[in-house]
Amino acid sequence: MRGALALLVDAFKAILEGPVTRPYPPGPAVEEEARGMPVVDWEKCVGCSLCARSCPAGAIEMVPAGKMRVGKREVPVRKPRIDYMHCIYCGLCAEVCPRGAITMAKKCLLIAGENI
């Protein structure tokens, strides 16, 4: 009986306190502490492809990105492009990059609707 009464009290409290779920479209989709999503800055990248080799999901593809001067010669370089549908948002690429060319931006991709 005690249990049943407590349950009733809980139920009325739940109705009074209001829902905890939030309607869509949501407010800020990214929490302060979330890891975020990797964003590459091609300007800083030197094309070492360390990120592509260590990416656990194989989400980084090195694509041709013009030429670069090494000493006197012009050599073709490849730079990373991230496939966000494969990415597991682990942040390893940002950790291994020797040039800090990848940063974890505090935003996220929504499956549907506007990005925030």
Partner 1 sequence: MGAGKIERIEAEPRELPAALSRLRGEGYSHLITITGLDEGDSIGLIYHLARPGGGVAHLHASVAKGGEAPSAIGVFRGAYIYEMEVHDMFGLRFSGNPHMGRRLLLPDCYPEDEPPLLKDTDPGRVREKLFAPGTVCLQGPPVSGLSRYSPESIAVPFGPYHPAFKEPEHFTLIVEGERILDAIPRIGFVHRGVEKAAEQRSYLRDIFLLERICGICSMHHGLTFTLAVEKLLGLEAPERAEYIRTLVAELERIHSHTLWLGLVGYWMGFETMFMWVLTVRETIMDLIELVSGNRVHKSIVTIGGVRRDVEGEKLRRVGEKIRGFEKEFSRLIGDILSLDEFIERTSGIGSYTAEDARALSTVGPVRRAVGDPYDIRKVEPYCAYGDLDFKVVTGDRGDVYSLVQVRAGEVLESIHMVEQIVDHMPPGNPVPKRPFMGVVKPGEAYARTEAPRGELFHYVRSAGKHSPDRVKVRTPTLANIMLAAHALRGQTVSDVPLVITMIDPCFSCMDRVLVADAGSGRRRILTEADFHRMRRRW
Partner 2 sequence: MDGATAVFAALVFPGLLFTFLMGLFFEYVERKLVARVQRRIGPLYAGPGGVLQPLYDFVKLLVKEELPPEGVDRLYYWLAPLLAAAAPAYGMAFIPVSSFRLSIDTPYDYVFTLFLFSFAVFATAAAGYAVYSPYTAMGVGRLVVQYSVYEAIFASTLALASLQTGATSFRGLIEYQALHGPLALYQPLGLAAAVVALLAKLEKTPFDLPHAKQEIVAGWMTEYSGRGLAFLHIAKDMSAVWGSALIVAVYLGGPLGPLYGALGGLVDAAWFVAKMVAVYAAVAFISSLAGRVRVRGLAEKIWGALLPLVFVQFLVVVALRWLV
Residue 77 lies near ligand SF4 (rule: CB under 6 A): no
Q: Decide: is 10 part of the binding site for partner 1 (CB under 8 A).
A: yes
Which pair of structure tokens corresponds to residue 75? 């050599």
Options 26, 56, 66, 100; binder of partner 1; rule CB under 8 A: 56
Least Cα distance to 45 among 93, 109, 107 occurs for 93
Length of the chain: 116
φ, ψ for residue 99 (rounded to 5)? -105, 0
If one asks whether residue 113 binds partner 2 (CB under 8 A), the answer comes out as no
Instruction: Name which of residues 96 to 115 contact partner 1 (CB under 8 A).
Output: 96
Work out whether the CA dihedral 103, 109, 115, 116 comes out positive or negative: negative
Residues 10-49, one symbol each (x = binds partner 2 by CB under 8 A, - = not), give: -x--xx-xxxxxxx--------------------------
Residue 34: CB minimum distance to partner 2, A: 24
Cis peptide before 25 (omega within 30 of 0): yes
Which residues bind to partner 2, rule: CB under 8 A? Answer: 7-8, 11, 14-15, 17-23
